Chain A
Amino acid sequence: MDEGLIPSPLIRDDEVFLRMNFAERLQHILLIVTFTTLILTGLPLVLYEMKIFKALFAFEKAFYIRGIVHRVAAVLMIANILWHIAYTIFTPRGRSNFRELMPGWKDAKDAFQVFWHNIGLTGFLYKRGLFKAFFEKHPYWLFKNEPEFGRYNFIEKFEYIGVAWGSLVMIASGFFMWNVELSLRLFPLWVHDIFIIIHGYEAILAFLTIIIWHMYNVHLNPEVFPMSKVWLNGKITGHELRTLHPLEYKKIAAERAARAAARK
């Protein structure tokens, strides 16, 4: 990993910052629990052809209980989301997080830059003396450095928006699946069929995204392996802030500098 910015004298590397407060951690844990429950009780219906799921419903009332558990988890997840929305609207920290999470043009550029920085193709070409004139004129295309991230990088922003979008789709389609009679008073059967398709496929998308993308970024990534502990203790060190979230680091340093100047 790059050593990143030159350390600011105002922030010690071993200084501890709060990245996720208790409420945010609890929201995240609730999301994990409800999401996992929903996946476990829902996926067998999507992948009904797989024999292993048959074993899950070994006893007579098992499938009936599955339905109850799935709905209870759904209600809990919705309650959690409502809490999160209220938290985002009514607390200064929530509002600040939300502003930081809004994606911009920079995030698309960051993703592009990270990818080519990782691949290092242009640097390799340059070293071999190919397109030398072009790269000297436009050094951006060498992707020599990683982009600098703010409090949330493009991965985290993408995941946040993904959860928001996924929840919206799942709640809407799930609501009509729960209330079949209502759904079919409002829509023809073929529209209701689409709700079922959407609910199933969106679940697969969410499941794969969590399993592949989120699990890599917070668990398997050699940077954090075996696990980033932020979700448990909410803490991030000055050093981590400086290397992983340099823009946030700079912002804090600037704030402290301004405060120090004001005191004088």
Chain B
Amino acid sequence: MNVRALSRSALLAVVLGLGAASAGLASSNDDCLTCHGDKDLKSGAGASMFVDAEKFAASIHGQAEIACVDCHADLAKVKDFPHAEKLKPVDCSACHDQEAAQLRASVHLQPHRAENPIVVTCADCHGTHDIRKKDDSESSVFSINIPDTCNKCHLERVKIRNGSGFVQQYLQSAHFKALRKAGLSMSANCVTCHGGHDVKAARDPQSRVSRKSIIETCGRCHVGIKKDYLEGVHGKDYLKGIKDVPVCTDCHSEHGILSPTDPGSVVYATRVADVCSRCHDDERLGRQYGFLTSRLKTYAASYHGTASKFGETRVANCASCHGFHDIRTSSDPKSPIYAANLAATCGKCHPGAGVNFAKGKIHVVSAKTESQGSHVAKLIYIVIIGGLISVFLLFIASDLFYRIRTRWTKA
């Protein structure tokens, strides 16, 4: 038991002790339920004032025998019933002070939109009288139920910067499928990545999904991948604080993450080249960080690239040769494209691939300087094709000319 939990249980004991001590003075739950147990009890405004005693009894607060007036504290000393209609809002921070402090600093309690601030309170996520522990499968904050709880607001009511469809993508994601279809409660739900009480906007550097923290956040579950990533060129540059280097979400997308074997995934075999080429066909980035560009262009010109473009998934894509999370430079002996490793790398698809696989260029930017053989072959063919077709057309033209000419003279 850690210090925080210890202090919390101590606090609970104090509250319970106080409750027991004051039992003789204040109203008991039964007193409250004489009125609030009535299903038809309505406020002046017409809202139901019914409290389901059974649900409360099953809730974590009910089980801990916390009295109504412990939360509705301004009723503790009231003797005349019915009490005044307007009560003070329940202040959970009396017990849950750390969570309340986190919430105050979070995006949910910051008036982040001047013109229509939406303030989220404890009850919006946790409910009121029926609050359950977060590892209770009935709880609104149980991992499998979290998406529904967040989506009460985030599907439509809340307009986030990337549009409401951005959050909706999660419902198609591999994480959501694992959570709901497979019932894997450890799969990533909203809170897993964004945090619970301390949720912050993604652009806030303090956020768990900011560039600064995302590797750590994803890496909490994907431990092996995080390790691979940090060993590769991307990870090493990430640790140096380079802003342009891709993090998890740059390649895999955010809410709509799918398995790489899903044709809809942005890193599906036939689509991954588009992801890599966002940077690796970018001349500006190439100049700035000294890497070669025109990678997609040159890949597309190869059989691998052409076939991939036409939907063939068995041909090599970027990741087949370069790896993915731990991509390394060709000068790194651990890289699959390190000269001595090429035979093994090509051999994954071409059994018995020998050293000849390395005797030539894969990404040919300029055939003239990098692949003279192909360049000369192309030139010869262009001359032959151009020459022959010209002769054909000349002959056809002369034949038609003759026919027109003789028709004139006959006429």
Interface string of A209-220 (1 = CB under 8 A from B): 100110010000
Of A49, A117, A189, A192, most B-chain CB atoms within 10 Å: A189
Q: Which of B352, B353, B402 contacts A117 (CB 8 A)?
A: B402
B392 interface residue per 8 A CB criterion: yes
**Contact B374–A118 (Cβ < 8 Å):** no
Cβ contacts B352-371/A at 8 Å (1 or 0 each): 11101111110010000001
Given A115-B398, A120-B405, are A189 and B356 also a contact pair (CB < 8 Å)? yes
Q: For window 350-404 of chain B, which residues contact chain A by CB distance below 8 Å?
A: 350-354, 356-361, 364, 371, 373-374, 377-378, 381-382, 384-385, 388-389, 392-396, 398-403
**Segment 87-137 of A: residues with Cβ below 8 Å from B:** 111, 114-115, 117-120
Contact A197 B378 (CB under 8 A): yes
- B300 to A, closest residue via Cβ: A48
Q: Is the CB of A194 closer than 8 A to any CB of chain B?
A: yes
Determine if B128 is an interface residue (Cβ-Cβ < 8 Å): no
Q: In the complex, identify which listed stretch (A198-206, A227-235, A240-248, A251-259) lies at the interface while the others stay far away.
A: A198-206
Instruction: Return chain A residues, CB-CB under 8 Å to B249.
Output: none
A226 at the interface (CB under 8 A from B): no
Distance A194 CA – B388 CA, assembled complex (angstroms): 21
Give Cα distance in the complex from A207 to B364, angstroms.
27
Contact A196 B359 (CB under 8 A): no
Instruction: Establish whether residues A44 and B310, one from each chain, have CB atoms under 8 Å apart when the complex forms.
Output: yes
B312 touches A (CB below 8 Å): yes
Residue of B at shortest CB range from A214? B392
Q: A62-B310, A118-B398, A204-B385 are in contact. Are A213 and B392 (CB under 8 A)?
A: yes
Residues of B within 8 Å of A63, CB to CB, are 307, 310-312
Interface presence of B306 (CB below 8 A): yes
Neighbour of A209 across the interface among B301, B357, B374, B392, CB < 8 A: B392
Chain A facing B: main interface SS: helix
- Tell me if B374 and A216 are in contact (CB < 8 A): no
Is A188 an interface position by the 8 A CB rule? yes
Bound Cα distance A62, B303 (Å): 16
Interface 0/1 of A45-57, CB less than 8 Å to B: 1001100011011
Please, how many angstroms separate the alpha-carbon atoms of A216 and B397 in the complex?
A: 11
Whether B310 and A189, one on each chain, are in contact in the complex, defined by CB atoms closer than 8 angstroms, is: no
Interfacial chain A residues near B374, Cβ < 8 Å? 190, 193-194, 196-197
- Is A222 interfacial (CB 8 A cutoff)? yes
Q: A144 to chain B: closest CB distance in Å? A: 13
Complex contact A181–B395 (CB within 8 A): no
What residues of A have a CB within 8 angstroms of the CB of B305 in the complex? 48
Considering the chains assembled together, what is the distance between the CA atoms of A99 and B401 in angstroms? 33
Number of B interface residues at 8 Å Cβ cutoff, please give it. 47
In whole angstroms, how far apart are the Cα atoms of A193 and B304 in the complex? 13
**Chain A 5-35: CB-based contact to B (< 8 A → 1; otherwise 0):** 0000000000000000000000000000000
- Asked if A83 is at the interface (CB within 8 A of a chain B CB), the reply is no
Inter-chain CA distance A213–B394, complex, in Å, is 11
Q: How far is the CA of A181 from the CA of B357 in the complex (A)?
A: 9
From A181, A194, A197, A213, B353 is in contact (CB under 8 Å) with: A181
- Whether A180 is near chain B, meaning CB under 8 Å from some CB there, is yes
CA distance A95 to B306 in the complex (A): 44
A3 within 8 A of B: no
Across-interface contacts of A114 in B (CB, < 8 A): 395, 398
| Residue ID in chain B nearest A116 by CB atoms | B398
Instruction: Decide: A190 near B360, CB < 8 A? Known: A57-B311, A205-B384, A212-B392.
Output: yes
Task: Pick from A66, A114, A118, A213 the residue with the most CB of B within 10 Å.
Answer: A118
- Which residues of chain A from 158 to 184 have any CB-CB distance to chain B below 8 Å in the complex? 180-181, 184
Q: In the complex, are the beta carbons of A198 and B403 less than 8 A apart?
A: no
Measured between beta carbons, the chain B residues less than 8 angstroms from A119 are 398, 401-402
Closest-by-CB residue of A relative to B382 is A201
Interface of B, helix, strand, loop or mixed by DSSP? helix
Please measure, in the bound complex, the distance between the C-alpha atom of A64 and the C-alpha atom of B315, giving whole angstroms: 11
A221 within 8 Å of B (CB atoms): yes
With A44-B310, A115-B395 in contact, do A201 and B353 touch (Cβ < 8 Å)?
no
Chain B 263-315 interface residues, beta-carbon cutoff 8 Å to A:
263, 300-301, 303, 305-307, 309-312, 314
State whether A190 touches B359 (Cβ < 8 A): yes
Contact of A48 among B309, B373, B378 (CB under 8 A): B309
Q: CB within 8 A of A64: which of B312, B350, B377, B398?
A: B312
CB distance from A245 to the nearest CB of B (A): 17
Cβ contacts under 8 Å, A192 to chain B? 360
What distance in Å separates the Cβ of B296 from its nearest Cβ neighbour in chain A?
A: 12
Query: With the chains together, A192 CA to B358 CA distance in Å?
Result: 12
Given the complex of chains A and B, what is the CA–CA distance between A264 and B282 in angstroms? Answer: 90
* Contacting pair A194 B310 (CB below 8 A): no
State A191–B377 Cα separation when bound (angstroms). Answer: 10
Q: How far is the CB of B231 from chain A (nearest CB, A)?
A: 29
Q: Is A263 an interface residue (CB 8 A)?
A: no
The residue of chain A having its C-beta at the shortest distance from the C-beta of B372 within the complex is A190
For the complex formed, measure the closest distance between the CB of A219 and the CB atoms of chain B, giving whole angstroms: 12
Task: Report Cα–Cα, A57/B400, bound state, in Å.
Answer: 40
Contact of A190 among B263, B309, B312, B371 (CB under 8 A): B371
List B contacts of A198 (CB < 8 A): 377, 381
A189-B356 Cα distance, complex, nearest whole Å: 6
Inside 8 A of B359's CB, which chain A residues have their CB? 188-190
How long is the Cα–Cα vector from A216 to B399 in the complex, in angstroms? 10
With the chains together, A32 CA to B117 CA distance in Å?
A: 73
Would you list the 5 A-B pairs with minimal beta carbon distance, nearest first?
Answer: A189-B360, A188-B359, A201-B381, A118-B398, A190-B360
Q: Can you spell out 27 A-B residue pairs with CB atoms less than 8 angstroms apart?
A: A44-B310, A45-B303, A48-B301, A54-B309, A54-B310, A64-B312, A111-B395, A115-B395, A118-B399, A118-B402, A120-B402, A181-B352, A181-B353, A188-B356, A189-B360, A190-B360, A190-B374, A193-B364, A193-B371, A198-B381, A205-B381, A208-B385, A208-B389, A209-B388, A209-B389, A212-B389, A213-B396
Other 20 A-B pairs with CB < 8 A, given A60-B263, A189-B361, A198-B377: A44-B310, A48-B310, A62-B310, A63-B307, A66-B310, A114-B395, A118-B398, A119-B401, A181-B350, A188-B356, A189-B358, A193-B373, A194-B373, A196-B303, A196-B374, A202-B381, A204-B381, A205-B385, A216-B396, A222-B403
